[in-house]
Structure 1
């Protein structure tokens, strides 16, 4: 019997997980000699044997020296072999500790102590018994928690284990091999090598490629690449056209959704976004063909209700004889659906509404999932857990593509993938995901990385800005929208609820501060700037144009930092026919910047003296 215990690795000081702020790495438990000590012992025995032989040979008894030398060398060889086997077993347990650390969400493998006993089967073999000591901060209250750990061990060691005992108070889990047969315990080297090859072949980051003309005419939105380098995508033309994105915070949902929005906008499709986190998708608010990004709960209710009305209106068109081919795709992104639905229910309860109003978000999204595809209205749902009550069996059948970022619990993965669950789960690498499209088998991919336009402009990352400029749509087909209410919102929850349900989406930015507009009118008349008015109803309209179409006097929004500015002069950049030098003036002063000639910017048109 060979007992083996290890606690390896160093804690990550930058983990950022507050749960383990007070936790400490486990002190390594040394049972028996370490591989290094065994190797030193083998060398010492060899030196002793040679010295003894030399002494006997000097005394004239070399034959007796050889008789002592041979068994001593054999003993040294056995010690070295044992040290090598123990080193290999140490590597197996270190890999297992790393996999369990990622599964349990602990900062590092050093926070785990794995005691492996009764190794059998082959030269290295696998342990019959595993005792896993984990930190008290790990949440082990789920009914299938221990089974999930056993699944991770099975995936790593290629050996099935059963839960022998789970000491919740002592935070110790014992796994046992149910077979106890020596012949079938050896892990399959080919399977382990194949898994390692898959991990090595997937890079940690892949920048989103610029769509070709063939891509822009396709309804397939690329999501990432698998281990063979094959592109994997979401096909809106599939029988079930909607997309589900799930994963814990930090897994890469925001980056993936940004890429999906950019790809849809590049195809000239309108995009409506409900961003319940308010700032996750703020970077695409001014992106061409992104008509609205609703960040407040009131606006989010209006956008969802209007998406449902749009679907019903399209159904009426089909009933009146129109063809589905005449309806362009509308992509509706609902980020963090469960939090959004809960907030809507709370708002309905505060307004004194009934159960039907409280389930408004759930009912509207369910209708969009069931009937939206028939009229080219497609939903992108973002949730944190795969066991969300929205994903009942009938709703799961309406989702054509599922992207699961990061690792999933064993029970959740089984419920999500069924018998087709992938043999290689996603690692905790941002953007690493398991994707299932249609009835195909789930595959492990690395999702494309798309820069956040707002963040790229803030830090002035030239590489990110260059990529975003290449991804920006060359054709702007849809104007920006704003929420238009029949009357001003009041502090009464009941009145506000009714106003939101009756609100519409209209072109333009709606009410905004008009300091720049007042300054522009005063500048045009030669007078001094008029006092700023706090709120002015904007009746003008806007459109997207290329920078090369800007003229002196245009009111344009070059980026988020400068906001709306008056273009004073447009000059060519010497020795660079692809760039223009823009001189502008705004509320916060004047400036200039070099911009690509083909970059799309938004301009406002004069209407009744107000921009």
Structure 2
């Protein structure tokens, strides 16, 4: 008989096998003996009590005899009745199985053994008292078809039906013609999938198609949350588009709790999403293990979300580096950390400080030779660096030296936009007839960027925002090593990382959080090492900061501090302009004590450097004024007012499962990832990134 494919499958029973229980199949009725035992026990007790009374025994002994007798009679009746019920159950099972195990249809109790009676899983107390046999042994005729297991399964089904318990075959001995049954292992009903597992699976099916194979891993919390999502999808050329993959990543981050990162394998048609590890809010700068190792060109400055070191590798990543970040994001901390790492290796370091106070604490630090704060000093320093580069090229050209013979020199130019503005204003005051329209210092910087690598002169540039002029064309290729502190505007992200969505939603309240090229070679989120400013740490007396600085200080200085001497009359008897005086400046070795002494400020230089601030119209934190926008108009990179604070939006997308519901994934100032699900038309307070074009720096303009 074939099973109907549209009905649930069930094991075959007697009717399916063609058997029927005829009226001729029966057992000889058992003789019930327990009533006789009960009467005998009770009668014996009464007889003993009468005999005791005749003999004059005390009254209490008569009562005791009667009680014992009646208790014995009760026990005989109770257990006798239970045995009767068990025998009746066994007989019903025997009669039911007779046609299955015997061709004679004459059942025999000798072929059955019912052992190890237990209360079972019955609900009624009386049924539990009677119980069920945990072990049933059945002897069958050898003529049965032993190759088929249908009759054995039918036996187990029939026993289960008669006894009220589930039985299964525990032993089958064909040689001894013995079949043993025992309680079937309980079938555990599968627990329903947690809510987020169901939601995650449904989301993956909706995004990748119903045919996609989805696997979701959960944590072990009371309310399990997804920690990993693996999808094997159908081959389709659309997955090769970065924009399609980015939209999927945004959808996953917006609709699932936490922050997720993908690992696409386009060759195998798989993708694995996993929760991003929680990054520390601060990492003290670790002690370098490369003191004095000049040839070590890897300068660590941060760690990524997996705890891997992120470094400026001057050979692999590029000879020059640019650091972008607005005030308060940690840009200066990163630059100080890199300079101190270079100083630990015994490199020469020259610093241009347009703000005049950011790097004063590095004066007197071992191997940091120059911290130039005046415009004329900064121009002279860059000229000397360019002059040194040309000199080293001449040595190579003459065959007197090789690239590896030179000591590395780091030239740090911080606040480059301020530097450009100050130099431009100063140059207008010293420029004479016949001189170039633009200050030649920009030519020298461009030359250092193009040729400095061979001469082992490396630029470390700092600026508050990525200027289109600075990060365009040739200069973009010369500064492959980059780091961006804080959130970028989509335009800035495009200039820095060739992606308008990279690094645009970093938490505003976490200083030192940046986007940089990680070990994988792709831009990712990192936490910059906390490197205290020596001047501020000394003033505050912070013991932890002082301990960090002490661990970073080189045991000895290889290069002495230098002073930039700009003489009013570099040559006796000649009349020189201020520009010529700067070009004729000399670098003079000084002591550490003299380097750390406060210096008099040249009023003329400061006054000449003051120019109109063309950035007055720009926003201070990189965002436009507040405006009212509907939820569906919010984009990644915006700031949104939520619960009294401005939060950075990581993703904004319509809920695919519910129409007109908008999901906004955001990060708080404390780096907590949360989601806001609201009506698409609900109005929010929003601040858009400031994407205004920046002023030309003149760095890339053709001379």
Q: What per-residue deviation string (whole Å, max 9, x for no partner) do you get for residues 158-212 of structure 1?
A: 35xxxxxxxxxxxxxxxxxxxxxxxxx9954277455998776211110000011
Sort the Cα spacing of 1:507 and 1:357 in 2 relative to 1 into closer, same or farther, 3 A.
farther
- Partner residue, 2:314: 236
Aligned partners of 2:468, 2:419: CA distance in 1, in Å?
A: 13
The residue number in structure 1 matching 2:486 is: 406
Counterpart of 1:158 in structure 2 is: 250
Q: Is the 8 A contact 1:346 1:358 kept in 2?
A: no
Report the Cα distance in structure 1 between the residues aligned to 2:550 and 2:461, rounded to whole angstroms.
Answer: 27
After TM superposition, list the pairs within 5 Å mapping 1:371-382 onto structure 2: 371-382=451-462
Is the contact between residue 490 and residue 500 of structure 2 (CA under 8 Å) also seen in structure 1? no
Tell me which of 563, 567, 577 is aligned to 1:495: 577
Secondary structure class of the residue paired with 1:202: coil
Match of 1:222 among 300, 309, 318: 300
Deviation at 1:240, TM superposition (A): 2.5
Is contact 1:345-1:360 (8 Å) kept? no
1:359 aligns to 2:436 (yes or no): no
1:292-441 aligned within 5 A: 292-321=370-399, 322-353=401-432, 356=436, 358-419=438-499, 422=502, 425-428=505-508, 429-436=510-517, 440-441=521-522
Could you tell me the TM-score, scaled by structure 1's length?
0.51
SS in 2 for 1:304: helix
User: Secondary structure of 1:402's partner?
Assistant: strand
Report the RMSD for the aligned CA atoms in angstroms.
Answer: 3.5
Could you tell me how far 1:425 is from its partner in structure 2?
4.0
Judge conservation of contact 1:345–1:357 (CA < 8 Å) in 2: no
- 1:470 lines up with 2:562 in the alignment: no
Q: How does 1:8-47 map to 2 (within 5 A)?
A: none
Secondary structure in 2 matching 1:374 = coil
1:156: Cα distance to partner?
12
CA–CA distance in 2 between the matches of 1:329 and 1:461?
33
The answer (yes or no) to whether the contact 1:240–1:397 under 8 Å persists in 2 is no
Q: Which runs of 5+ in 1 are unaligned?
A: 1-83, 89-150, 160-184, 509-541, 545-555, 562-611
2:211 maps to which residue? Answer: none
- Tell me the SS of whatever aligns to 1:458: helix
TM-score, normalised by the number of residues in structure 2? 0.44
1:423 to 1:469, Cα distance in 2 relative to 1, 3 A: closer
From the superposition, tell whether residues 360 and 507 of structure 1 become closer, same or farther in structure 2 (CA, over 3 Å): same
Distance 1:482 1:239 in 2: 32
Asked if the contact 2:334–2:529 (Cα under 8 Å) also holds between the matched residues in 1, the reply is yes
Contact 2:471 2:496 in 1 (8 A): no
Take 2:339 and 2:488, find their aligned partners in 1: how far apart are those partners? 25
**Structure 1 residues 400 and 293: CA distance shift in structure 2, 3 A:** same
How big is the shift at 1:249? 1.0
> 1:358 Cα shift?
2.5
Q: Does 1:461 align with 2:542?
A: yes
Q: Is the 1:344–1:360 contact (alpha carbons within 8 Å) kept by the matching residues of 2?
A: no
Show the counterpart of 1:206.
283
* Counterparts in 2 of 1:268 and 1:422: CA distance versus 1, 3 Å: same
Alignment deviations for residues 268-310 of structure 1 (CA, whole Å, 9 cap, x no partner) = 0010000000000111011010101001111111111111111
Q: Is the 8 A contact 2:466 2:496 kept in 1?
A: yes
In the TM superposition, what is the alpha-carbon distance from 1:350 to its structure 2 partner?
1.8
1:132 matched to which residue of 2? none
- Aligned match of 1:289 in 361, 367, 370? 367
Maintained 8 Å contact 2:324/2:485: yes
1:505 has 2:584 as partner: no
CA displacement at 1:362 relative to structure 2: 2.1
User: Equivalent residue for 2:352?
Assistant: 274
Rounded Cα–Cα distance in structure 2 between residues aligned with 1:402 and 1:303: 24
Shift of 1:389: 1.5
Q: Residue 361 of structure 1: CA displacement? A: 3.0
Distance 1:558 1:307, change over 3 A: closer
SS of match in other structure, 1:479: coil
1:42-57 correspondence runs (5 A): none
Cα gap change, 1:377 to 1:200, in 2 (>3 Å)? same
Distance 1:352 1:214, change over 3 A: closer
Structure 2 unmatched ranges of 5 or more:
1-194, 200-242, 263-272, 599-703
Change (3 A) 1:328 1:409: same
Q: Which moved more, 1:498-507 or 1:302-311?
A: 498-507
CA–CA separation in structure 2 for the residues paired with 1:199 and 1:501: 53
3-state SS of paired residue (1:325):
helix
2:527 to 443, 446, 461: 446
- Structure 1 residues 229 and 215 mapped into 2: Cα distance closer, same or farther (>3 Å)? farther
The CA deviation at 1:387 is 2.3
Asked if structure 1 preserves the Cα contact closer than 8 Å seen for 2:567 and 2:585, the reply is yes
Q: Deviations over 1:16-57 (max 9, x none)?
A: xxxxxxxxxxxxxxxxxxxxxxxxxxxxxxxxxxxxxxxxxx
Render the CA deviation track for 1:373-399: whole Å, top value 9, x for unaligned: 111000000011112412222111011
Which secondary structure state, in structure 2, belongs to the residue aligned with residue 263 of structure 1? helix
Decide whether the 8 Å contact of 2:353 with 2:414 is kept in 1.
yes
**Conserved 8 A contact 1:248-1:405:** yes
**Higher Cα radius of gyration:** 2
Distance in 2 between the 1:280 and 1:197 partners?
A: 40
Q: Please tell me whether the aligned partners of residues 312 and 481 of structure 2 are also in contact (alpha carbons under 8 angstroms).
A: yes
SS of 1:373's equivalent?
coil
- Measure the CA separation in 1 of the matches of 2:560 and 2:336: 19
Distance 1:345 1:212, change over 3 A: same
Give the C-alpha shift of residue 453 in structure 1: 0.7
Matched residue of 1:380: which SS? Answer: strand
What SS is found at the alignment partner of 1:237?
coil
**Residues 155/222 of structure 1: CA separation in 2 closer, same or farther (3 Å cut):** farther
TM-superposed deviation, 1:504 = 2.2
